Amino acid sequence: MIDLSKEINSILKDYADDVEKTLLKVEDEVAEEAIDKLKKTSPQKTRGKKKGHYAKSWKVDKKAKQRYAQTIIHNKDYQLTHLLENGHDIVRNGQVVGHAAAQPHIKPVEEWVKKEMVERTEKEL
């Protein structure tokens, strides 16, 4: 005689495993595409020996948790990301001499990632 609750639990566990694999796959794909988008849309330094250094510094870190992964997209010049995204005062000798305009390049990619994760996950499942 088949135990109905055991059979249902087995089916649900298999489904949960499939969902987890799908999420990890979609997460990896979207993260790599997000890095490419950030590299293309990030402000480029046009002079000096560090030409394009900021745009090239985008990376993906994958940190394993107990039953799920956490993917973090970051830039090695993390202090600069906030200044470029939000703008900042230009200070010389303690005096504000101007304001650098914001160059939003992270927020559009963040919004794309949120939308894309949902769409691709629904499509895959």
Contact 71, 31 (CB under 8 A): yes
pLDDT score, position 26: 93
Spell out the residues 6+ positions from residue 31 whose beta carbon is closer than 8 angstroms to its own. Answer: 60, 71, 73, 113
The 10s digit of each residue's pLDDT in 71-117 is 889 998 888 899 899 999 999 999 999 999 999 999 999 999 999 99
Residue 124 has pLDDT above 60, yes or no: yes
Average of per-residue pLDDT across 119-123? 94
- Which residue ranges make up each domain of the chain? 4-124
pLDDT score, position 11: 93
Global confidence as pTM = 0.79
Residue 46 has pLDDT above 90, yes or no: no
Query: Angle formed by the axes of helices 4-41 and 107-124, to 10°?
Result: 150
Residue 123 has pLDDT above 60, yes or no: yes
